[in-house]
Structure 1
Amino acid sequence: MTHPPVSPRPDAIHWQSPLWLLAALLASLATLGPFAIDAYLPAFEGITRDLATGPVQMQQTLSGYLLGFSVMMLFHGALSDSFGRRRIVFGGLFTFALASVVCATSTHIGTLIVGRVIQGMSCGAGMVVGRAIVRDLFSASDAQRLMSQITLFFGVAPAVAPIVGGWVFTLIGWRAIFWLLALIPTLLLLLCCKTLPETLPVEQRQPFAPGPLARGYLDILSAPRFFLLTIASGIPFNATFIFVLTAPTFLGHHLGFSPTQFFWLFLATISGIMGGAWTSGRFAGKIARERQIGIGFAILLAAAALNALWHFFIKPTPLSAILPIAAMSYGWSLLTPCVTLMVMDLFPARLGMASSLQGFVASLSNAVVAGLIAPAVMGSVESLAATSLLFGLIGWICWILYGRLTRRL
């Protein structure tokens, strides 16, 4: 199976500074959304008391955020294809900062929910547009190397956010968390104004009109290879994500961990993601993307299968339950930068729209797993391990089908 590299645009803007600096900037844009989810979680009880509300209303601040994030994920990329990358990034950061101020000054739970919805709607711009910027700027191997560095930086945010949020809440109060969430995008906006180039020339932009937009969405959504590639990277992520979603039951009930020991799961997951991203960057330009994806799936499936077999016949231990999760995270992180680039390479004239739809499908699958599948299988380590293996197999089957369809075409 071969996938020809896409040549860089002859009139593309070139990045002159060190590659790691662009990776750090784009990773910061991409992690703003996940950071805003995790940072305020330690303050749930404090917000509930201060605003005289209940747990159901507080949960709506999270679900509203995720709803806004998922809906706008469909449009950030298409907007950037029409109006340029910088404008959409700037608009997203500015809107997120204003929404954070609304949250910080809220005196009623309804206002806080509205602020969180607007935060969710705006924070995905950096994630979606950042992937398009990578493909605007670089050829296949350089783009893979940069995507790997972004994933490497991206792995730090879920670990840092609750720690930062917990300290800020303890020392200053919950409103300070949202003031921090207003300051971060403001600083990123200033940094982007100074350093981030416009990577989409005017003559290559798509018309912002109902007809062309509808045709663009239809072209992508009707392409079987798009769905196969998107599922190949999006569904296997849930092989490890399902353990994170069920952490209180998985760690506390099944493994007997105390809350202070939960960090071992997050440490294993993040270490695997960062290790796979580092390896992916080292492989860039040295081995074919298809081979790297195959290696990633082999590691993920081997770890998931051993995890399932072990726990169907042997009582789980902390080591036996957590080590395979690190290996699965490593395999997923090794394959996903390549798959992400291959998705966008299918639609070189609609990089932003392809990135948007890829992100939407992935976030939709995560939401289904969180809301329906995880509660149904978290009753035992065996069922969690079997479901994790199933997610890996679904992704691998889609990858095999993509290869067969590509050869046929």
Structure 2
Amino acid sequence: MTGRGRLPRVDRMTSPPPRSPGAPSSPRPRRAGARLTLTLASLAMIGPFSIDSIFPAFTRIGAEFGADEVGLQQLVSAYLAAFAVMSVFHGPLSDALGRKKVMIGGLVIYLIGMFGSIIAPSLGSLVLLRMLQGMSAGAATIVSRVVIRDLFDGAEAQRLMARVMMIFALAPAIAPIVGGWLLLLGDWRWAFAGVGLYGMVVLALTLTLPETLPPEDRTPVRVRSLLGSLLHVGRSPVMLRIAAATAFGFAAQFLFIAGASIFVVRLLGLGEQDFWVLFVPLIAGLMSGSWVVGRAAERMPRSRLITVGFLGVVATTALNLLLVSLLPGPPGGLSLALLPAVIGPMLIAFTVALVFAPIQLEVLDLFPHQRGAAASLGTFFSLVLNALLAGMIAPLVSGTLVSFALTALGFALLGLGFWTWHLRTHARAVQQVAG
């Protein structure tokens, strides 16, 4: 029961793995400095800025190109679908070429797609450019998580992941606000230009990062090796259960982000500059939850924290359903009547944050020799579901606030179900090993 057997995976549920060939051979820093933390957080924020900053521009894009609500949602779903497909390859490529090269190459292609959007002559061409952005953005966001685990073990890795999450959480709040302000300068193209400028700053910061995977620890640069790595990781039942739990749990919150333009403008009756009403409470919840994760790094076993988080997601989505069910009707303007509609999403975000950082480390520790591939496949399921949320599910369930809340509760229950299945399977494995 060694090597690729069950026993090492059982051990990794409760303690970090020993240093492996998938980690840097040079001495690791004991603590993450502010510069490293901010750079990694900036890389992670590429995704939210790419999605949320253009929400305020939807009305103007639709007016110029004659697009309806469903057509405009494809600007989000096309980005997410392309992100999901390419996410499978970013991690293995970083295992073969090194983390830094993949991140920089992805950012360069991303900037081409973002600035190309400024001159898009039609909605179809804009959707294609959004696909290019999605194909390349994952190189920054996915690989930056692997860098954290390359550099740090155990509690410090969880603390750094939580700090990155706290800063990252600002992006969904800032992005739509900045997007709305940029529209005061001109048409919808200003929103894309603003994100492009942010991408240039992130590229400059990435150039200062060290390479965390030395050449002697890399996998061969061959298609067969890359696909073999993905196959080895992808056929792990443990990986599949944890990835499914992550995807559904996060979807309980992401539903509100993917459908933000519908939720804020139509269901709450607000305008282009009012997206902060949803996103500020969401971010407050995410930051608070991430702070708790950092404080719990040495106080609570990782699997127990994840369990508490999933139970919390179910409880808060149920509370959100109760709150919106008691509303007499759409608030229809900025007033205290909005509070029941936004308190629920804030609490959901808090509990989702309890899950996000520790479960990412759980995935990476399953395959210490193939962290890039593990990060890619661990993210893939969430991204596919997010794309479906943006392009199909959010428009379908956007009839009322109650239908939004019911859908979020359904995702939360599925996430808890997969995590419970994983824990029970793990417990049986422990008993078999002990026997």
CA distance in 2, matches of 1:146, 1:333: 14
Structure 1 residues 173 and 391: alpha-carbon distance in aligned structure 2, compared to 1, 3 A threshold = closer
Task: Indicate the residue corresponding to 1:303 in structure 2.
Answer: 316
Which letter maps to 2:239? F
In the alignment, is the contact (CA less than 8 A) between 1:13 and 1:197 conserved in 2? no
Q: Provide Cα deviations, 1:293-321, integer angstroms capped at 9, x if missing partner.
A: 12212322222233345666785764333
> What does 1:103-182 correspond to in 2, within 5 Å?
103-107=117-121, 112-182=126-196
Q: Deviations over 1:34-71 (max 9, x none)?
A: 2122323434455567xx63326766554443332222
In structure 1, distance between residues paired with 2:328 and 2:127:
43
Write the distance in 1 (CA, Å) between the matches of 2:122 and 2:186: 20
**Separation in 2 of the partners of 1:148 and 1:135?**
13
- Residues 45-60 of structure 1: pairs in structure 2 closer than 5 A: 46=60, 53-55=65-67
Q: Which moved more, 1:384-393 or 1:271-280?
A: 384-393
* Aligned: 1:65 with 2:76: no
**Residue in 2 aligned with 1:213?**
226
Change (3 A) 1:123 1:246: closer
**The one of 199, 206, 209 aligned to 2:212:** 199
**1:70–1:248 distance in 2 versus 1, CA, 3 Å:** closer
Residues 115-141 of structure 1: per-residue CA shift (max 9 Å, x gap): 332222111111110111011000021
Using a 3 Å threshold, how does the CA distance of structure 1 residues 58 and 318 change in structure 2: closer, same or farther?
closer
Aligned partner of 2:15 in structure 1 is 4
Return closer, same or farther for 1:311/1:109 CA change in 2, 3 Å cut-off.
closer
1:221-370 paired onto structure 2 within 5 Å:
221-247=234-260, 250=263, 257-259=269-271, 262-309=275-322, 318-370=338-390
Deviation at 1:107, TM superposition (A): 5.0
Summarize the Cα distance change of 1:267–1:224 in structure 2 as closer, same or farther, 3 Å threshold.
same
Residues 56 and 275 in structure 2, CA contact (< 8 A), matched pair in contact too: no
* Residue 144 of structure 1, CA deviation: 0.7
Return the offset for 1:114.
4.0
Q: Distance in 1 between matches of 2:60 and 2:401?
A: 33
Q: Which is helix-richer, 1 or 2? A: 1
Cα deviation, residue 156, structure 1: 1.0
Is 1:374 the equivalent of 2:390? no
Normalising by structure 2, we get a TM-score of 0.83
Q: Post-superposition shift, 1:177?
A: 3.9
SS at match of 1:287: coil
The question of whether the paired residues in 2 share the 8 Å contact of 1:41 and 1:165 is answered with: yes
Moved more, 298-307 or 142-151: 298-307
Identity between Structure 1 and Structure 2 (%): 37
- In structure 1, what is the Cα distance between the partners aligned to 2:114 and 2:86? 17
Greater alpha carbon shift after TM alignment, 377-386 vs 234-243: 377-386
SS state at 1:171 partner: coil
Q: 1:385 aligns with which of 405, 421, 435?
A: 405
CA distance change for structure 1 residues 48 and 238 in 2, over 3 Å: closer, same or farther? closer
| CA drift at 1:215 | 2.1
Whole-Å separation in 2 of the counterparts to 1:273 and 1:94: 29
Q: Which residue of 2 aligns with 1:395?
A: 415
Structure 1 residues 176 and 302, CA, compared in 2 at 3 Å: closer, same or farther? closer
Q: CA deviation at 1:201?
A: 1.7
After TM superposition, what 4+ stretches of structure 1 lie above 6 angstroms from structure 2?
Answer: none
Quickly say closer, same or farther: Cα 1:184–1:140, change in 2 above 3 A.
same
1:19: which partner in 2? 33
Cα RMSD (Å) of the superposition? 2.8
Of residues 307-316 and 6-15 in structure 1, the stretch that sits farther from structure 2 once superposed is: 307-316
Q: Give the Cα separation in 2 of the matches to 1:26 and 1:111.
A: 31
Q: Once the 2 structures are TM-superposed, how far is the Cα of residue 176 of structure 1 from its aligned partner?
A: 4.2
SS at match of 2:184: helix
For structure 2, list consecutive stretches of 5 or more residues without a partner in the other structure: 1-9, 330-336, 430-435
CA drift of 1:6 comes to 1.8
167-176 vs 341-350, which moves further? 167-176
Per-residue Cα deviation, 1:86-131 (whole angstroms, up to 9, x for no partner): 1001101122223333333445656544433222211111111011
Q: Is the 8 A contact 2:73 2:390 kept in 1?
A: no
CA distance in 2, matches of 1:323, 1:348: 39
Count of aligned residue pairs for this structure pair:
405
Structure 1 pair 309–64 and aligned structure 2 pair: CA distance change class (3 A): closer
Indicate the larger mover: 59-68 or 112-121.
59-68
Residue 135 of structure 2 aligns with an amino acid whose one-letter code is M
Deviates more, 1:370-379 or 1:337-346: 370-379
Structure 1 residue ranges without an equivalent (≥5):
none
TM-aligned CA deviation for residue 13 of structure 1:
5.2
Output the amino acid matched with 2:211.
Answer: E
| TM-score, scaled relative to structure 1 | 0.88
Does structure 2 retain, via aligned residues, the 8 Å contact 1:13–1:198?
no
1:79 to 65, 81, 93: 93
Q: Structure 1 289/306 Cα, relative in aligned 2: closer, same or farther at 3 Å?
A: same
